[in-house]
Amino acid sequence: MSTQLGQPKSTVPKFGRLDAALADVKSAMQRSCSYLLSRQHVDGYWCGELEADSMLEADYIFLHTLLESGDPERLKRALTEMMRYQKDDGSWSLYPGGPGNISLTVKCYFSAKLMNLSASDVHLVKAREWILANGGVVACNTFTKMYLCALGQYDYDAVPAIPPEIVLFPNWFYFNIYEISAWSRSILVPLAIIYAKKPYKKIPPEHSIDELFVGGRANANLRLQWDRKNRISWRNFFIGIDRLMHWAEAVHLRPVRKVALKRAENWMLERLEMSDGLGAIYPAMMNAIIALRCLGYSEDDPQVIRARDEFEKLGIEQEATPDFPHPTFRMQPCMSPVWDTGQAVYALGDAGVPRNDPRMLKAADWLLSKEVRHKGDWAVKVPKTEPGGWYFEFNNEFYPDTDDTAQVLLGLSKVDNPRERYQHQVVQRAIEWEFAMQCRNGGWGSFDKDNTKMIFQYIPFADHNAMLDPPTVDITGRMLEMLAAHGYTRADKRVEKAIQFILSEQEPDGSWFGRWGVNYIYGTFLVLRGLEAIGFDHNEPQVQQAAEWIRMVQNSDGGWGESCGTYDDPDTRGVGVSTPSQTAWALLGLLAAGDDRSDSVAKGVRWLLEQQLADGSWDESMGEGAKREGIITGTGFPKVFYLAYTLYRQYFPLMALTAYQRAMERAA
């Protein structure tokens, strides 16, 4: 992406080197702390908006069309929001500046027609040309095709089968549902109910998308195609299984279907309790609403009402602005209060906000109130472990994750709580839970232990590229930092095993892959922070090679940036427009590697100071008017879904300036 950040500069003067300008760094830190504290909710937490692609608005329109519900004015505003991000070539992309995505573009095109845009509309003409040039509807992923089936635009017997019988497989069985990722599990169980019930709503002919099938829908080959080059392959094996399941559906050979549907229903209802919707994430919540209606739950059933209310809470009404003089409505993929609060408390405490400051204590108490005390899906693999830890959202009791838990523990380490004994007990429970979740190879995944069966990638409905939750170096790096903050050292065999896992994953150029943030800058900074904290010598070649890679990919303006495109093309790693969050990550990585005197660090700090706004904040927007978008630095699922954490640009620069100040004071 070559578009420059569309943001005003602060009044901080430009410097050649910043080694002696600690007063300016401290001033920037103070303004940053003030701004961040001003964003704290009265209840003690922080929660920045999560920005994602237009699929959320497209699916919102689809859902309400299928269920004949929704506020007509809100749906119009959702359409306005969706249409403003169409690319010049007619497509929609997963991230600003990225290439068009076929599934997303088909969804947006269809949603526009459902909202009565004509096929002759210039925007849809361009979209249709792009879609046909890129394979048409048949090239979409399974989830998209399933939604199209519900409105009669695809055939249920041509989509990969998602039979509800999968919930009947015992936990010891190789293909049981607990061997796929937690997010896929919460999406697929209600989707299996939908597949079994096969909802269908007839729509007006003018809303049809038959024109998006290359050669026409009647001539399109909708079924999965065999891999003819590699006849003996897992793909062909699973396609064969899929064909067999479709045959069984056709002849009604489903002896345990009723039992399976009841098990799936109970599984879903159980996880709707103590959570803000199923899994507290957009696609699972939407699927759950449809699944409940398919199971016969009425519009006024308490379960349906609650599921819909939680779903609608993800929406944000946007009034007209000078940049875009039309009111819009957009959806968030979920909410991030626990994550943002853990990060904010840590950044503020590290920057010098007193450990007993009432605002810090209020945040700590809010975090403590969110501790998980019930066993969730994770307990299938670690049944003898006491519940502990934290989830990402406001309420999601079945799905705590190791990354949020580590960050909350880092945040709590910066607070002196009057309830010292209670906080200590909570912390110890969480640490024990974290160790129980450590994978065989020494690393940590996010929601489950040893979720690594690669064979699941070949299942036909796995084309959303997110079936597994393997150990990652970014989470493991944060884990090392957290453990060090609570007194653990390399003398602990579990810690040493984690270090060896990290070292084994280093790329030839010295960087590390970032699973949960974009991308190699994110992975590398977290690894270096973890290694430094746990006492790994920064003179070791692995550390210095990583630091040299960071210096090597610095932009000419002094900042760092990296595009989501690096997941598709790793050769472009470290390439992208400079952003405050990624510049902060790079600086944190270099400082953790012992580099506090290089030109790279000096220029990076200068860039952050120059980009800070007068109110102490940083901006990460690109474009103007209708195309004003936030640069994406967060990763949901590589190659499939990305998101912008709007508070990343605030607490990470503060952390970087704090680390720089500390390094300069040590050197003085």
| Tokens found for residue 388 | 């502990």
403 is catalytic: yes
Mean pLDDT of 613-621: 95
Q: What per-residue confidence (pLDDT) applies to 6?
A: 39
Segment 204-245, tens digit of pLDDT: 999 999 999 999 988 888 877 777 788 788 778 888 988 898
DSSP state of 627: G
Query: Which member of 242, 276, 377, 403 is catalytic?
Result: 403
Measure the CA–CA gap between 170 and 338, rounded to whole angstroms: 33
pLDDT in tens, 175-203: 899 999 999 999 999 999 999 999 999 99
Indicate the SS3 state at residue 499. Answer: helix
Q: φ and ψ at 510, to 5 degrees?
A: 105, -10
Q: Tell me which of 159-163, 427-431, 514-518 is least confident.
A: 159-163
On whether the CB atoms of residues 405 and 433 are closer than 8 A, the answer is yes
Q: What whole-number distance in Å separates Cα of residue 385 and Cα of residue 254? A: 37
Asked if pLDDT for residue 572 goes beyond 60, the answer is: yes
The pLDDT, as a whole number, for residue 16 is 44
Supply the DSSP symbol for 13: P
Please, how many CA atoms are within 13 Å of residue 133, restricted to the half-sphere of its CB? 11
Of residues 342, 334, 348, 343, the one with CA closest to residue 370: 342
641 closest CA partner among 544, 524, 516, 528:
516
Domain boundaries, the chain: 1-38+510-668
pLDDT at 623: 59
pLDDT at 466: 81
Please tell me the CATH code under which domain 1-38+510-668 is placed.
Answer: 1.50.10.20
C-alpha span between 529 and 484 (Å, rounded): 11
> Is the Cβ–Cβ distance between 633 and 582 less than 8 Å?
yes
What is the rounded CA–CA span in Å between residue 90 and residue 73? 25
What does the pLDDT look like over 152-181, one tens digit per residue?
999 999 999 999 999 999 888 888 999 999
Query: Which phi and psi angles does 527 have, rounded to 5°?
Result: -65, -50
Q: Cα–Cα distance between 620 and 51 in angstroms, integer? A: 12
Give just the sign of the alpha carbon dihedral 117, 119, 121, 123. positive
Burial track 421-432 (b if 16+ CB lie within 10 A, e otherwise): eebeebbebbbe
Sign of CA dihedral 504, 507, 512, 517: negative
Query: What does 524-541 look like in DSSP terms, one character per residue?
Result: HHHHHHHHHHHT--TTSH
pLDDT band for position 41 (cuts 50, 70, 90): very high
Q: What is the mean pLDDT of residues 487-510?
A: 98
Least confident window among 103-107, 553-557, 620-624, 655-659: 620-624
Q: Binning pLDDT at 50, 70 and 90, where does residue 393 land?
A: very high
Contact present, 609 and 616 (Cβ < 8 Å): no
